[in-house]
């Protein structure tokens, strides 16, 4: 889910959905997912690029399983409440205005528009004012459900129990495909060497 996958009338929808994922959640009614993680001494956040959307978080190792559950619940149970949609529209419109007042950003966007002219990589991540104002709940949900069929990567680093984490992921039953590949070590495109760092990648193929 990123701006390069968007049609003209969908400009900015990936970034908009990113905002929605960290608002209300159908599973957590009394407090926000962000507040739960912050109460554990950690944090969660999200960002959107041209080619993917990332939801990330950090906690001490003893809470790693809780964090994984919450991050998956963020993906699985977004509420898309109408009041959240209207509020985030204003937030994103202000974000667009702020970037448009930034000379460096304007120059960068003009460069990308010319460099990738006619290619989806020229799409702006934030979208434009017209598209943002027109988005409705049904459109956001429909686009989001379509993106869940694409490849999802879960990357975890630190001290954690691999088997327990994989069990949590399987029990959440969010992924259409169940093949799980684990890479231990620094992940590179052509590296299959002996593990040399405490980095684990769990990839749902």
What distance in Å separates the CA atoms of residue 156 and residue 111, rounded to the nearest whole number?
35
Give the Cα-Cα-Cα angle 55, 123, 43 (nearest 5 degrees).
15
What distance in Å separates the CA atoms of residue 102 and residue 173, rounded to the nearest whole number?
43
Q: Is 96 helix (H, G, I), strand (E, B) or coil?
A: helix
> From the candidates 18, 65, 69, 146, which is the catalytic residue?
18
Please indicate whether residue 18 is annotated as part of the active site.
yes
In what order do the strands lie in the sheet containing 152-157?
Answer: 152-157, 199-204, 180-184
What distance in Å separates the CA atoms of residue 151 and residue 114, rounded to the nearest whole number?
29
Catalytic residue numbers read: 18
């Amino acid at each position: 889910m990123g701006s390069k996958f968007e049609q003209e009338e969908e400009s900015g929808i990936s970034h908009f959905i990113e905002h929605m994922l960290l608002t209300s959640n159908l599973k957590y009614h009394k407090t926000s997912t962000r507040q739960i993680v912050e109460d554990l001494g950690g944090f969660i956040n999200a960002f959107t690029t041209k080619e993917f959307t990332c939801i990330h978080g950090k906690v001490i190792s003893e809470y790693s399983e809780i964090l994984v559950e919450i991050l998956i619940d963020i993906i699985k149970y977004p509420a898309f409440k109408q009041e959240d949609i209207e509020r985030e529209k204003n937030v994103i419109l202000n974000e667009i205005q702020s970037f448009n007042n930034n000379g460096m950003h304007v120059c960068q966007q003009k460069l990308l528009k010319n460099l990738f002219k006619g290619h989806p990589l020229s799409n702006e991540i934030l979208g434009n004012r017209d598209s943002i104002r027109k988005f409705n709940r049904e459109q956001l949900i429909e686009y989001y459900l379509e993106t869940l069929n694409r490849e999802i990567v879960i990357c975890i680093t630190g001290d954690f129990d691999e088997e327990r984490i994989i069990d949590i992921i399987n029990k959440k039953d969010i992924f259409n495909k169940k093949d799980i590949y684990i890479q231990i070590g620094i992940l590179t495109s052509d590296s299959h060497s002996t593990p040399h760092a405490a980095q684990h990648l769990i990839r749902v193929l």
